[in-house]
Amino acid sequence: MMITFDNSYLRELPGSYLRLAPDVAPDPKVLVLNADLAAELGLSVSDAAGWFSGARLPEGADPAALAYAGHQFGGFSPQLGDGRAHLLGEFLGPDARRWDLQLKGSGRTPFSRGGDGKAALGPMLREYLISEAMAALRIPTTRSLAVVTTGERILRDQGLVTGAVLARVAASHIRVGSFQFFSARGEVEKLRALMHYTMARHYPQAEDPLAFFAAVAQAQARLIAQWMGVGFVHGVMNTDNMALSGETIDYGPCAFMEAYAPGTVFSSIDRQGRYAYANQPLILGWNLARLLETLLPFIDADPERALDLANAALEGIAGTYRVAFLAVMREKLGLAGEAAGDGSLIDDFLTAIEGVDWTLAHRRLAAAVTDEAGYLALFDNRAAITAWLPRWRARLRADAAEALLAVNPAVIARNHLVEAALQAAEAGDLSDFNALLAAVRNPFGPEAGREGFVLPSPKGAADYVTYCGT
């Protein structure tokens, strides 16, 4: 026995899932295996091809598709659910933390809504790569264990492509949409059970629904602030893609911003810019409001008082996020402690670097501690940043140069490199993918010798567009 399952979600929350087995992959082959992560989680994987494709299930697995609802681009769907994923079960890591083990792209379920339930190789490799990059950046995220090709060809817009399954682990797959599922049906007792289960699993310190909500809001505010700090654009911040654990989940049309532009959008379907870079904190508040709506029956027996208490809780979200964002940016700017003027110092920096590569504008501040001229070379218009630098220097911590290199990455998953690596992998050559994977796993390492991974996309490159992969 290599994985000891303890499937508490299925045991304690009947009605929130449908038991069914994944499709049997006809000819599974492991393309990428995260052996380090498996060892870290205490997993001894004896049959990666079988277990992580659905061809053969490990003993004790109890596969199920989870039910949830969700607001997608603002429109509510009362039933979504895992349309191409199967939760194999839960296991405890060496530190007694509980983890979900899920397959993605493993076949149709009753929630597929006309889809084929499969996944193409490119999007699965993208999730593997970007989730590993986020983990290396110390941002809470689901993690990828393996990508396994299935031996099938599946139909997508570009024609027949290689089918693949992603195996991933998560602190859980409980989403805002999980709460909306029961709330939309008026199933109050099932909703109450889900709330208590989530509190016990993720926020045991919370003693009541409002404390639970405050803990979720704090975790989500920290997460989105960290996204903003590295220029990450999720692309699909629907309520079914907001995990209550505070982890980044579901890497579809996501990417890292290069030239700083608050309105940056990468998703092919986000034509209105709802999930643009600068809108992510606003969507945080919107999604949390949808969660709080589901908790109203438990906040107070008097509906009017429950609503008043909920509105009071929502009023604090913007401030909670601002505190989290300022904390992230103080680190990224190497500031000493906290000062009253930090908010304006940070805001003025963001104004000054508009149009400049986000990652390099932060990373090369370390050199600007002693060499202002080299830093200014990043800028076409230098007036604003030249005026800002003396104010910044007056607030620096003593070890600023060293500290800045420790928190500002030299390497992110640059869009042109991601695309080139995925295209080569789909053609059977994993060398570019493996090289990029190694680079993003060491984001804070030196630039020297890694210039190909550090520099932005070539000038004149077309705007980068990503797709959901279904």
Query: Exactly one of 116, 240, 250, 357 is catalytic; which is it?
Result: 240
**What count of other Cβ atoms lies within 10 Å of the Cβ of residue 189?**
9
**What count of other Cβ atoms lies within 10 Å of the Cβ of residue 155?**
12
Is 429 tagged catalytic? no
Q: Are residues 299 and 195 in contact, defined by beta-carbon separation less than 8 angstroms?
A: no
**Could you list the active site residues?**
240
